Amino acid sequence: MSDETPASAQTTTDPENTLLMDLKDGRVTIQLLPDVAPKHVERVKTLARQGFYDNTPFHRVIEGFMAQGGDPTGTGTGGSPLPDLPAEFTTKYRFIRGVVGAARTQNPNSANSQFFIMFAPAPSLDGQYTIWGRVVSGMDVVDKIKRGQGGNGQVRDPDRIKRLRVAADVRD
């Protein structure tokens, strides 16, 4: 596996491949990586354009690891009505702070709508989960997401995504 990380990849200003996620403490800008995970990027953009992610909770948040959201049920078992996606694993990038990956069950081809944002590196995920984006601004906002309790990181009264939009669609 190379030492290249999404953080060292070329930063894009392409609004069609940029997400704007509004949280209680501010805005997070996520660069999408369509060259790495085209099916996952397309899915996230489709769901964002439908307003699917609006008001969904960060239901699983583990200090020093990651914040997981994108499940409208808040249980970690929900998803969108769209079919699950095939894995788009890469060895080009690593799971480091700010990387956004697709959450899934033990089945590698079960990603749907859930995602996670890394607080810290997790080499055990490299090549095992799909990377589809990276936070390019607002990581300080991500750091303020309410943490869960216990080993599974389930969050009581979790923080929620206020809005998640494709930047090309935002006119403010």
Distance CA 167, CA 149 (A): 33
Burial readout 72-99 (b: 16 or more C-beta within 10 A, e: otherwise): bebebeebbeeebbebbbbebbbbbbbb
Using CA atoms, how far residue 113 sits from 64, 110, 126, in Å, is 23, 10, 20
Whole-prediction pTM value? Answer: 0.93
pLDDT under 50: residue ranges of the chain? 1-10
pLDDT in tens, 38-49: 999 999 999 999
How confident is the model at residue 172, as a pLDDT? Answer: 67
How confident is the model at residue 12, as a pLDDT? Answer: 53
- SS3 of residue 89 by DSSP: coil
Strands 131-137 and 26-32: antiparallel
How confident is the model at residue 7, as a pLDDT? Answer: 47
Q: At 113, phi and psi to the nearest 5?
A: -125, -20
Distance CA 50, CA 57 (A): 17
Distance CA 123, CA 48 (A): 29
How confident is the model at residue 136, as a pLDDT? Answer: 98
How confident is the model at residue 11, as a pLDDT? Answer: 53
DSSP 8-state code for residue 64 = T
Going by C-alpha positions, the residue among 165, 172, 85 that lies closest to residue 132 is 85
How confident is the model at residue 143, as a pLDDT? Answer: 98
Supply 134's token pair.
Answer: 């990276």
Show me where the domains of the chain are located.
16-169
How confident is the model at residue 150, as a pLDDT? Answer: 81
Q: Provide the 10 A C-beta neighbour count for residue 15.
A: 13
How confident is the model at residue 151, as a pLDDT? Answer: 82
How confident is the model at residue 3, as a pLDDT? Answer: 41
CATH architecture of the region 16-169: Beta Barrel (2.40)
